[in-house]
Amino acid sequence: MTDTRPTDLTPRLAARLEEGSYRRIRLSVDGSIATVELSNPEHRNAVDEDMHAEIDDVFAAIHRDGAIRAVVLTGDPAGKAFCAGGNFDWLSQQAPTGEGYSEILRVGTDFVRSIMGTRQPVVSAVNGAAIGLGCTIALLADVVYAGEDTVIADPHVGIGVVAGDGGAALWPMLVGPHRAKEFLMTGDRLTGREAAAMGLINHAVPAGEVLDSAYAMARRLADGPRLAVEFTKASVNLLMRQQMEQVLTASLALEGLSFHSEDHRRMLDAMRR
C-alpha cells in the first residue's frame, strides 16, 4: 500500500513510523488503515524476543491513536511465511530457569492482551505458513483471510511441548473442544481451505488475493460507523478475553514444565540434526 499518513496521528505512533523504530516489525499507514508486518525473514518471520516486545508496543500505540480505524496484520513477504512460530533458540535459553521462564510468561501474555485489546478491528492476511505461535497470532485477529493452500497448524506436540501460547484457549472457542483437542494433540496440519470449512478462519482465497481481500475488509470496517464497529468488537471480546485470561497463564506454565521433559529434549535434538 502507498504510505499516506494522516496528519492527526499521535506523536507516539508517528515516532514508530520512522525507519529503525522496530527490528522485527514493519509498520506503515495508508489513510486510516495501519499495516503491521511480522519481519524476521531469515527465520521465516519467527517470533523472537524483540518481536514479542514490538508486537505488544505497536498494538498499544495503534490502540491509542484515533486516526487509525483498522489494522491489517501480515507477514513480511521476504520471510516466505506469515510466521513460522516461536524462535526455539531464545525459548531454550529462557526456559531452564524460573527467572527466564517468567519472562516468557510475561511477554506471552502481554502480546496476546495487546492484540485482543486493540480497539480497532484487526484483519489477518495469512500470506504463507502460520505455524505454532504464528498460528495463534493470526487467529487473535478479528477477521482472518488465508490462502486456500496455506499451511495452518499448531504442532507444539511435535517437539514435546504444550500448545500453551494461546492455542489451548483459542482453538476450542473457534472450532469446539473435540476438534481443538484432535489438532492440538496431534499437531496435524490444515490447509486454509480446510481451516475455513471448520470455522477456524473466516475466508480461504487464492494465494494472490489474500492481501487484497484483507485490505478490502479493513477498508469496509474503517469506513463503517466507528463506535458501532469498535464497541461490537469489544462486546464479543469480553467473553473471549475472559476465557483467554482463565487459560493462558496456566497453559503457558504447563508449557514451561514440558520444556523440561525428556520428550522435548529428544525431539529438539532430532529436529536440529
For residues 162 and 72, which has the higher predicted lDDT (pLDDT)?
72
pLDDT exceeds 70 at position 3: no
- At residue 267, the pLDDT reads 83
- Asked whether residue 83 carries a pLDDT value surpassing 80, the answer given is yes
- Domains of the chain (ranges, CATH numbers): 11-272 (3.90.226.10)
85 exposed, middle or buried (CB, 10 Å; 0-12, 13-18, 19+)? Answer: buried
Name the band, by pLDDT with cuts 50, 70 and 90, for residue 96: low
Could you tell me the strand order of the sheet in which 190-191 lies?
Answer: 130-131, 151-153, 190-191
pLDDT at 159: 85
Q: Is 166 left (phi over 0), alpha (psi -120 to 50) or beta?
A: left
What percent of the chain clears pLDDT 90, i.e. is strictly above it? 64
Query: Which pTM does this prediction carry?
Result: 0.92
